Amino acid sequence: MRLLLFLMAVFAVMAATGKPAEAEGYPWCSNFADGAGVNCGFTSYQQCMETARGSGGYCAQNDWYSPPVAVARSRNPKRTHRPHKN
C-alpha cells in the first residue's frame, strides 16, 4: 500500500513539473469529418488531402507551425593554410 502511495506521489510530481505539450511540427492539419479528430502531421497539402478525403474531412494550415530557422553563413569563412610547393 505504501509503495502504491509513493508511486502515485512520484507520478503527481512528474506531471506537475513536466514541460507543456508542444505543437506538432508540420505545416498541414487534417480535420476529419464529424469531429473525429485532427492530425497535424503532414508536410504538404496533397499528402494531407489524401488522408482527409477518406473520411470526408478537409485540410487547413497549422496555426502553430513554425518553420525551422536557417543558420546564416559567415561572411568571412575561415581559410585553411595550404603550404606552398617548392
Residues constituting the chain? 86
Q: Is 56 contained in some domain?
A: yes
Structural domain boundaries, residue 36: 22-61
Residue 82 has pLDDT above 90, yes or no: no
Q: Does residue 26 lie in a domain region?
A: yes
How many distinct structural domains can be found in the chain? 1
For residues 14 and 16, give the distance between their C-alpha atoms in angstroms, rounded to a whole number. 5
Contact 27, 65 (CB under 8 A): yes
Q: How many C-beta neighbours within 10 Å does residue 48 have?
A: 26
In a domain, 40, yes or no: yes
State whether residue 48 is helix, strand or coil: helix
Whether 35 is covered by a domain: the verdict is yes
Would residue 54 count as lying in a domain?
yes
Model's pTM, two decimal places?
0.52
- Is 68 part of a structural domain of the chain? no
What pLDDT, on the 0 to 100 scale, is given for residue 61? 95
Residue 27: pLDDT band (50, 70, 90) is: very high
User: Could you give the CA distance from residue 54 to residue 75 in angstroms, rounded to a whole number?
Assistant: 50
